[in-house]
Structure 1
Amino acid sequence: MTSIGIFGSMGRMGQAIVAVAPQLGAQIAGGCDQGDDTAELARKADVLVDFSAPAALEAHLAAARAAWTPIMIGTTGLSERHHALITQAAGEIPVLQTGNTSMGIALLARLVREAAARLGPDWDIEIVEMHHRNKADAPSGTALMLGEAAAHGIGTTLSAAAVTDRAGLTGPRADGTIGMASLRGGSVVGDHSVVFATAGERIELIHRADDRAIFARGAVRGALWLKDQQPGRYTMDQVLGM
């Protein structure tokens, strides 16, 4: 039975993974939180999952590399430096990094990319996400993931196309941009909508998460898949075989 080590084991996702892992044929090798021995956990686990905090990612990648242990990263709020560290680690070990571990979101991202590519420049793209009041980062990692999929579809990058700060007299919408809006309140697990709009019609692709267990199941499924891969950087698309 594959053993999974959890960075951020006391958090919401860490506890959810502990609960669902046995149902999916995995066992928990242990957990690691602030101040714990990352190296020991990396050595005894077959695969690691990280749902901790961006500030801890560098140390967790170093521990995974030292032990040659695959690692799945679901931590959001990452910077360009974090992504550079992930790419560097992927030269030595298998690394799966995603803004969302839901199988439904993985499929949604694929649909968004295809829709953006097929609809063409006459269609405006807007992304709206809502999460619980305690979420620390905005836009959400999932919204960024969907934005990147849309940007890929229209042949640009999200950093070039994203608009996140509309306020005041902004003027007409600029062509080729991707609007992103973040809502926070209550106990919402995660709602994401991608809107494609043109003159006279609109398409909306929506995913609503009602139970955090969907992310835990996806994380375990991703970790089990990652264990058997060669060194490289992977996405949830590949877990689904897309």
Structure 2
Amino acid sequence: MTKGTQALKNVAVAGAVQRPPQGSTEHRVAVAGASGRMGHMLIEAIRASEDCRLAGALDVATSPAIGNDAAAFLGHASGVPVTADIAKGLEHAEVLIDFTRPEGTLAHLQVCRERGVKLVIGTTGFSEAQKAQIAAAAKDIAIVMAPNMSVGVNVTLKLLELAAKALATGYDIEIIEAHHRHKVDAPSGTALKMGEVIAQAIGRDLKQCGVFAREGVTGERDPSTIGFSAIRGGDIVGDHTVLFAGTGERIEITHKSASRATYAQGSLRAVRFLAEQPNGLFDMFDVLGLRDRDQ
């Protein structure tokens, strides 16, 4: 008996995936990185949703979860095995949620584009050339790409946009972020997005004004810069603080994540948004209706 077969026998068939109420729309969702921390959170959120169904589960060929039921970790049978075969994993899916690595996401992107599968991308660390590949694919399929799918984080981004416009002069801007020891990129995609939002709001180019390292005798701080600091340690899910430091006062806007569940719920909102989009590249401002009409 294979490990995958044994896993299927160990879960309760009585725990089958919930079906949406009669007459409602069902979204068939595949998950990339299905055996990882975020993959598990996504599968649990899909399972708890009334309008989403797990339709595929992808992971790298070396994952010990290959061949197992994707929901075995919950003690349930989804009937969806974890596979390294991208085409097979997307066979029954309408949309793929991907929180993996840039190289993996781009491999998934190619197959999604070929098969007309929409994509929610929470992966960070893309180069400009890789972002261009995603934008090109969005001409054929609908994609939501955001460095952070949390509803709270995206509301925070809107607050930062408003604050930056009001505090454009006389305030030094610093972005401090903290994540768990396993995170491989720095600064975080969310921190970079915060910097981009602030820079755009005050008419600057983050590529020109971003400062990502300080050491030794650096001289006085250039007031036109936006500074970044990255902390890595323990199991910190994700903390972000933007400091506006003026003369006689400091304003701090902070968001702290205590669970990846916030990312999963935001991802499902993106799935529902994509159901109405034939193609195009979107972000969570589009999903949440936070974008100004003139943007």
TM-score tier by shorter-chain length is over 0.9
Letter in 1 for 2:46: A
- Structure 1: distance between partners of 2:135 and 2:205: 18
After superposition, what is the alpha-carbon deviation per residue over 1:82-111, rounded to whole angstroms, capped at 9, x for unaligned? Answer: 111111111111111111110000111111
Instruction: Classify the secondary structure of the residue corresponding to 2:28.
Output: strand
- Structure 1: distance between partners of 2:179 and 2:106: 26
The corresponding residue for 1:161 is 209
Instruction: Classify the secondary structure of the residue corresponding to 1:57.
Output: helix
Instruction: Classify the secondary structure of the residue corresponding to 2:105.
Output: helix
Q: Structure 1 or 2: larger strand share?
A: 1
Consecutive unaligned residues in structure 2, runs of 5 or more: 1-25, 62-83, 291-295
Equivalent positions of 1:17-166 (< 5 A) are 17-24=42-49, 25-35=51-61, 36-166=84-214
TM, length-normalised to structure 1: 0.96
The corresponding residue for 2:12 is none
After superposition, what is the alpha-carbon deviation per residue over 1:134-173, rounded to whole angstroms, capped at 9, x for unaligned? Answer: 2111101111111111111111222112101111110111
Aligned partners of 1:121 and 1:154 also within 8 Å: no
Aligned partners of 1:192 and 1:207 also within 8 Å: yes
Letter in 2 for 1:30: G
After superposition, what is the alpha-carbon deviation per residue over 1:28-50, rounded to whole angstroms, capped at 9, x for unaligned? Answer: 11111124121233342111111
Following superposition, the deviation at residue 203 of structure 1 comes to 0.8
The corresponding residue for 1:198 is 246
Following superposition, the deviation at residue 230 of structure 1 comes to 3.0
TM, length-normalised to structure 2: 0.79
Following superposition, the deviation at residue 22 of structure 1 comes to 2.7
Following superposition, the deviation at residue 72 of structure 1 comes to 0.7
Instruction: Classify the secondary structure of the residue corresponding to 1:34.
Output: coil
Letter in 1 for 2:219: G
The corresponding residue for 1:7 is 32
- Structure 1: distance between partners of 2:203 and 2:34: 39
The corresponding residue for 1:223 is 271
Instruction: Classify the secondary structure of the residue corresponding to 2:56.
Output: strand
- Structure 1: distance between partners of 2:281 and 2:54: 24
Aligned partners of 1:133 and 1:184 also within 8 Å: yes
- Greater CA drift, 27-36 or 92-101: 27-36
Number of equivalent positions = 242
Letter in 1 for 2:175: I
Following superposition, the deviation at residue 185 of structure 1 comes to 1.1
1 or 2 for the larger relative contact order (CA 8 Å, sep ≥6)?
A: 1
Instruction: Classify the secondary structure of the residue corresponding to 1:44.
Output: coil
- Structure 1: distance between partners of 2:134 and 2:162: 26
Aligned partners of 1:57 and 1:82 also within 8 Å: no
The corresponding residue for 1:189 is 237
Aligned partners of 1:132 and 1:184 also within 8 Å: yes
- Structure 2: distance between partners of 1:120 and 1:157: 14
Structure label with greater radius of gyration: 2
After TM superposition, what 4+ stretches of structure 1 lie above 4 angstroms from structure 2?
none
- Structure 2: distance between partners of 1:209 and 1:58: 27
- Structure 2: distance between partners of 1:89 and 1:20: 27
- Structure 2: distance between partners of 1:148 and 1:43: 37
The corresponding residue for 2:223 is 175
